[in-house]
Chain A
Amino acid sequence: MRIVQTPVITENIKEMCVEANHYLSEDMKAAFSQAAESEKTPLGRRILNQLNENLQIAAEDMIPICQDTGMAVIFMEIGQEVHFEGGILEDAVNEGVRQGYTEGFLRKSVVRDPLIRENTKDNTPAVIHYEIVSGDQVKITVAPKGFGSENMSRIFMLKPADGIEGVKEAVLTAVREAGPNACPPMVVGVGIGGTFEKCAWMAKKALTRPINEHSSIPYIREMEEELLDKINMTGIGPGGLGGSTTAFGVNINTYPTHIAGLPVAVNICCHVNRHVIRII
């Protein structure tokens, strides 16, 4: 058994919220630079250059990459040998978000009740996903999610007979409908299988995988590559203003499912695909 003090969790999450909103991961930065060279339209290149410059300004001036600093989505993968001391874990996570968003000059975008809509003024609560895994470590992924793209995400409860072509069409439908609203170039997270909520969770988690890493399942890897090509052929382009760079990556996760079903979730993320990972 290993004891982890919950104030350590708070401190890390606070720092990770600020870091995620000012710096993108190396794989995302590389994708921007590569796209600025390969984009076929002049306006598309102009926009990609602006987005590159935007990333530099954010890092140099410590100003968030995007004003929508998101709802804090946090994946906690907790080794089953870990014992927490020093307070309730959930409170520690939310305290980290509270401190990160208030002290880090991040926007408070969370309302307490979805219909009454009163701002909580500190961006809490976070959306927290817990997993119990083997070992004695805690892997934390902080992924602030903007809602321009979240609003364009979809779940399709397909029939088994729809098969792989049905899945591809579902992904392309979601991307086409998202179009300019989702701040392309996008990253497309896809969950296939499981149940209604499991596929949504997988799609969200897929967004935290580096975009230059593929699924370990050969035919899924092929589907990721094929869908990325097809998405970039839609012509939606940077900012939805036309071009050959509509997505940076398609990440697919799968899970066993029921004999009667084929759930598919498509979680679209804008180009500000933020995630910071730490292991404690």
Chain B
Amino acid sequence: MDKHINAPMRDEEIRTLRAGDYVYITGKIYTARDAAHKRMDEALQKGEELPVNLEGNIIYYMGPSPAREGRVIGSAGPTTSSRMDKYTPGFLDIGLKGMIGKGRRSAEVIDSMVKNKAVYFAAVGGAGALLSRSIKSSKIIAYEDLGTEAIRELEVNNFPVIVVIDSEGNNLYEIVNCADAQAGHQPSGW
């Protein structure tokens, strides 16, 4: 079912999201991928403050291509989330509520999502040109030296995603897998 939500997210809103929902996000989200995760994790280990307050916020696993002149951003689709799994439970414990990426998550991440009532969205991988149209502004707020991997604050308007893992741990990828195993053919119903 189609839903519209705002970012940062409120707990009441998160609870209504179910695996398989098609969701349009409006508001502010933050990009971070491999190198920014590593750096933020190191900061946390040292007891330093993070460059972005994660509470209630959504991280988008994305490193854009460079913007042409007069454009907000370049191509801007999701990268594979599992590379961030190692760092994710620590971020969820300090208030991260949403993640946008693509692909499977580890059991540790899913357990932590259920514990912390967070949600994992997939954006359509390889649709970076289309997705860039929902990004209204982009500003580097930390780790500029990381280039495409810097942390960006994005203002998004009706950014299209699909709930893959909801705050109760229901997992759309697993539902797809089970349908394959049981029926030996494609599932139906979405």
Contacts and interface: CB of A to CB of B under 8 A. Distances in A.
Contacts of A2: none
Interface in A9-57: 40-44, 46-47, 50-51, 53-55, 57
B106 interface: no
**SS of B interface (majority):** loop
Contacts of B188: 40-41
B130 interface: yes
A236 B104 CA distance: 12
Interface residues of B, number: 51
Contacts, number: 174
B65 A272 contact: no
Nearest to B122: A239
B37 interface: no
B66 interface: yes
Contact of A64 (B79, B128, B187, B190): B128
A241 B66 contact: no
B64 to A, nearest CB: 5
Given A66-B75, A236-B176, A241-B122, A54 B127 contact: yes
A272 B126 CA distance: 7
Nearest to B162: A241
B144 interface: no
A271 interface: yes
Interface string B64-98: 11111001001111011010000000000000000
A67 B147 contact: no
Interface in A95-140: 105-109, 117, 119, 121
Given A105-B66, A183-B102, A239-B122, A42 B190 contact: yes
Given A63-B74, A107-B74, A51 B126 contact: yes
Interface size class of A (residues with CB under 8 A): 35 or more
A61 interface: yes
A61 B160 CA distance: 20
A3 to B, nearest CB: 37
Interface of B: 20, 22, 35, 62-68, 71, 74-77, 79-80, 82, 102-104, 122, 124-130, 132-133, 147-148, 160, 162, 164, 172-173, 175-177, 179-180, 183-190
